Structure 1
């Protein structure tokens, strides 16, 4: 099956970051483009033709395109190509890499389904969460077990820093305390209270309940 999709990118002079969208038809693409233009963004739009298996779902299509976009960013659309993926792309060619991105996308969804909600919400699906998952892949080798990849991602410095940030935010917002004020050293936090299977805000409430912290406001 050959799918015609639309890739839309919007960038604003005064707002940091880039908005990326995928649309499944012209009507959807036009609506998303108009929304970005109304917000004052400069918009780039490209139609993408992708050969897909008959049983390919919309989620798998979206994941494959996000993977392909990310691999292009780190191999050809950069002054410092990725030292692992760039040689691989040169070796197999762009066409083969595009097909490979379909398989990666299907595997990415398995990992994504295992990630806790708090982590899914810390960044954009297409240019932060999916790249984080793709970074656990070694090109040309068998995909890691999805749970192993999940644990690697949640144990990363990025995930730990975000977990701590959300924990501290909840302490500050609801109890008027920072980590030090709550009597918790950072090393002790990661040794005792860091558990990515639980929402960091719930963990903060648990800590407050255990040590009888009073809510403010």
Structure 2
């Protein structure tokens, strides 16, 4: 919200992420269900929009690698890719908190090769494979045996492997229900339009 950052930040095009930033900055949960608080956060988010250089998605990596913006709101794996290609960048987790999420592998009901699907999941969970995957994609691994195989320079970086204290301020997105999710989406859309 610093006015010195006018037209400087690349924001992710996601209602939950951006509304979550507004809510957590004001000391609320990113899963806030009180509509009055959510609406107030929407107003607060509008005051951030003068700092937006753009509201984008996948192209953010390229822009940050090329030094097209000063700051970006992004995911840790995306940041890892950016850092590997531009040594002038740094990745930080906001002290107010952030979302905590997990990739999942699922098997659809219509699977044609159930045995093969389970074999693939078991393969990906093998510690040596999970460690290689974590290094390749740049996202932290929840696999404790894989974690032990990773270099300390990776696991000691608290932006990617946060401390227990930092984790206390991180929240998993909850299902808000259709009506409340629509409100989050509408408020984010209003903030995006307000920017213009």
Alignment TM-score, normalising by the size of structure 2: 0.26
Alignment TM-score, normalising by the size of structure 1: 0.24
Higher strand share: 1
Higher helix share: 1
